[in-house]
Amino acid sequence: MLNSSFHDLLSTLGFTSRYAFLGGGYVALLVKVPGSDEEVYVDVGNGSPFFEPVHLETDPTNVSKFGNIEVMLRADEEEGTYKYYHYANNKPMIWEFDTRIFYEFDDFQPAIKDYFRANNTFTSSLRCQIWQLDKNRSLSLVNNVLNLQYESGEVEKHILGSV
């Protein structure tokens, strides 16, 4: 949901932005670099360490990494298609996406409906994430468990009591 709001902001500021649909259920953005034909991958809604746009065409060996999380976007066999490799604690998650397909917001209604389904991951728990790069850490709150992950990979886990 954050990426759709960011898409609106970018459009209002004069950037050309469009949606990418990953794995049939996640939305990111492709943003045209001003004065160029290049599009970059932008993702502000994921708990992955994307701190700058990913240049899919000019940086084919890109890696976004923080602590125990590593994300790579790689060109697939067919031009315009990519694979999103996400590793957290060496556990892989792989999504595919096709930059040749142009999506409208309404194309995501089934995924949005599923996202907000009762008892789904994001409707049955409290989840907050913040990256504090100036402190070399990430804070993740899931219900009453606060994890502080440092750039070194060290993780501090705190169980919070009720107030």
Phi, psi of 58 (to 5 degrees): -95, -5
pLDDT of 103-146, one tens digit each? 998 988 888 787 778 887 767 788 889 999 999 999 999 999 99
- Three-class SS of residue 22? strand
Give the rounded percent of residues in the chain with a pLDDT score beyond 70.
Answer: 98
Give the rounded percent of residues in the chain with a pLDDT score beyond 90.
Answer: 71
**Angle CA 40–153–89, to nearest 5:** 75
At residue 6, the pLDDT reads 95
At residue 75, the pLDDT reads 96
- Three-class SS of residue 113? helix
Sheet bearing 69-75, strands edge to edge:
64-66, 69-75, 81-88, 91-98
Separation of alpha carbons 48 and 3, rounded Å: 13
**Angle CA 68–59–49, to nearest 5:** 25
pLDDT of 64-101, one tens digit each? 999 999 999 999 999 999 999 999 888 999 999 999 99
pLDDT at 163 over 70: no
Domains and CATH numbers, the chain: 2-114 (3.30.2140.20), 125-159 (no CATH)
The pTM for the full model equals 0.86
